[in-house]
Amino acid sequence: MAKGVLVIFDQNNGEIRHVVLEMLTVARSLGDGPVTALTFGKDARNTLDKLAEYGAEQVLFWDGDAYARYSSDGFAAAIAEAVPELGPDVILFPATAWGKDLSARLAGVLKAGLATDCLHLEAGEGGRVKAVRPVYAGKALAEVTVNTPVQMFSLRPNVNAAVPAPATPEILSISPAVDSAAFQAVVVERNEAQGGVLELTEADIIVSGGRGIKAPENFKLLDDMAQALGAAVGSSRPVADEGWVPHSYHIGQTGKVVSPTVYFAVGISGAIQHLAGISGSKYIVAINSDPEAPIFKVANYGIVGDLFQVVPRLTEEIKTVKAQQ
């Protein structure tokens, strides 16, 4: 079968993450073979319209009972069985918890090279894709190539544009014979975060608080500002370590690495490990009472002042601007 790019991702109730559209856009730019999309589970077929809109030429929906519950070993074995028939030279995954789990497993099974969390991919010489990925949480960038016949990459969300290019996908019926009874690690339960919490790694705007916030109850100020902006709320490490916010808020080298359009650092001085985690932000806005704080060195805009004075006024101004739109 023709070579091409196989794009593998998860779906939830027929909904796909924005990164899937970014992956399809990148996949189209990579080669001459077809772009094939593969997803799993009961509502897989409900993703067809979106996949068509973003240029998938072939789609595979593994929606049988065997794929109702995610299993890293089970799914990897099934994909590995289908790969020879599909014959992709490139396989893309989202660099999400799901994608990192499955891509590394599949790379192990296929004995293929995998570059994790790539920012950019481009077609290079001899059919080798040139990838750029952050190392040391973005303190440096690495240009890498994968040497194996199947080249695997996971793509960081929120970095590449998603550009529609309507296609009429052919629905392929390749379906490996799998016995889900042999799946070992199986998801038995999924718990969504409580109401309306925006995921930091996919957020367009983030409002983040540090020690300058002084007390956990003062995070209310940031919640209000985030709500006015439609933003996610994050934090620096010390604040999460103190237990003022859950660990899932922690942004930095040992927490979430984020790439929003705008990152508001409120009362965050800017430790090296925090700056690493936000270096992918397009605009950094710092609000801090200390004009010498390192955060101002990486900021596009800054306010030197008392956050307790500044933030409520910012929230009001933002509401005013939003109301005019």
Contacts of residue 147, Cβ cutoff 8 Å, sequence gap at least 6: 113
Residue 1 near another protein by CB under 8 A: no
CA nearest neighbour of 23 among 62, 68, 54, 64: 54
Of 49 and 316, the one with the shorter C-beta distance to another protein is 316
Which H helix or E strand runs over 117? strand 113-118
Residue 294 near another protein by CB under 8 A: no
Stretch of 35-43, 54-62, 139-147, 159-167 contacting another protein, by CB under 8 A: 139-147
Question: Cα(312)–Cα(70) distance, rounded to whole angstroms?
Answer: 44
Residue 25 near another protein by CB under 8 A: no
Query: What part of residues 306-325 is at the interface with another protein (CB under 8 A)?
Result: 306, 309-310, 313-314, 316-318, 320-322
The 8-class DSSP code of residue 193 comes to P
CA nearest neighbour of 110 among 64, 146, 135: 146
x-or-dash pattern for another protein, window 204-223, by CB under 8 A? -x------------------
CA nearest neighbour of 72 among 114, 48, 104: 104
CA 323 to chain centre: 30
Residue 224 near another protein by CB under 8 A: no
CA nearest neighbour of 198 among 237, 158, 236, 163: 158
Among 45, 100, 120, 211, binds another protein (CB under 8 A): 100
Query: What part of residues 140-199 is at the interface with another protein (CB under 8 A)?
Result: 140-148, 184-193, 197-199
Residue 283 near another protein by CB under 8 A: yes
Question: Cα(274)–Cα(139) distance, rounded to whole angstroms?
Answer: 10
Look at the chain and count its residues.
325
Of 42 and 130, the one with the shorter C-beta distance to another protein is 130
Of 52 and 303, the one with the shorter C-beta distance to another protein is 303
By rule CB under 8 A, what count of residues binds another protein? 98
User: What is residue 35's three-state secondary structure?
Assistant: strand
In angstroms, give the least distance from the CB of 111 to another protein. 8
CA nearest neighbour of 99 among 120, 115, 81: 115
In angstroms, give the least distance from the CB of 219 to another protein. 18
Among 53, 81, 101, 223, binds another protein (CB under 8 A): 101
Of 48 and 227, the one with the shorter C-beta distance to another protein is 227
Question: Cα(20)–Cα(56) distance, rounded to whole angstroms?
Answer: 11
Of 52 and 225, the one with the shorter C-beta distance to another protein is 225
Question: Cα(322)–Cα(138) distance, rounded to whole angstroms?
Answer: 33
Among 18, 214, 220, 297, binds another protein (CB under 8 A): 297
Question: Cα(91)–Cα(107) distance, rounded to whole angstroms?
Answer: 10
Residue 284 near another protein by CB under 8 A: yes
Residue 68 near another protein by CB under 8 A: no
In angstroms, give the least distance from the CB of 168 to another protein. 31
Among 2, 18, 85, 111, binds another protein (CB under 8 A): 111
Of 220 and 322, the one with the shorter C-beta distance to another protein is 322
